[in-house]
């Protein structure tokens, strides 16, 4: 798998969610290595929990196209 394929969605286009998620994850890892404070660790924990909760809610929302 090429690195550029990690940013592509199901239709083969660049997915903004994946791009922002990967870049944000790398920024969080870098800041946690460099700063490593208790508040930063807790903030990253909450961001991760909320992001996963949002994705789960979006998955079960039933946001399928209703065009006939």
Between helix 16-34 and helix 38-59 the angle, nearest 10°, is 160
Name residue, tokens 């890892």. Answer: 29
Residue 15 — φ and ψ, nearest 5°? -95, 120
Flag whether pLDDT at 64 surpasses 80. no
pLDDT digits (tens, 9 = 90+) for 8-58: 777 777 777 777 878 888 888 888 889 888 898 888 888 888 887 777 777
Distance (Å) of CA 63 to CA 14, 55, 57, 66: 20, 12, 10, 9
Position 40 scores a pLDDT of: 86
**Whole-number Å distance between alpha carbons of 9 and 36:** 33
Position 24 scores a pLDDT of: 82
């Amino acid at each position: 798998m090429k690195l550029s394929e990690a940013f592509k969605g199901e239709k083969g286009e660049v997915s903004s969610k994946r791009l922002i998620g990967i870049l944000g994850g790398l920024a969080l890892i870098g800041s946690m290595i460099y700063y490593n404070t208790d508040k930063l660790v807790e903030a990253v924990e909450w961001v991760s929990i909320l992001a996963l909760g949002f994705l789960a809610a979006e998955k079960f929302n039933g946001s399928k196209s209703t065009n006939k």
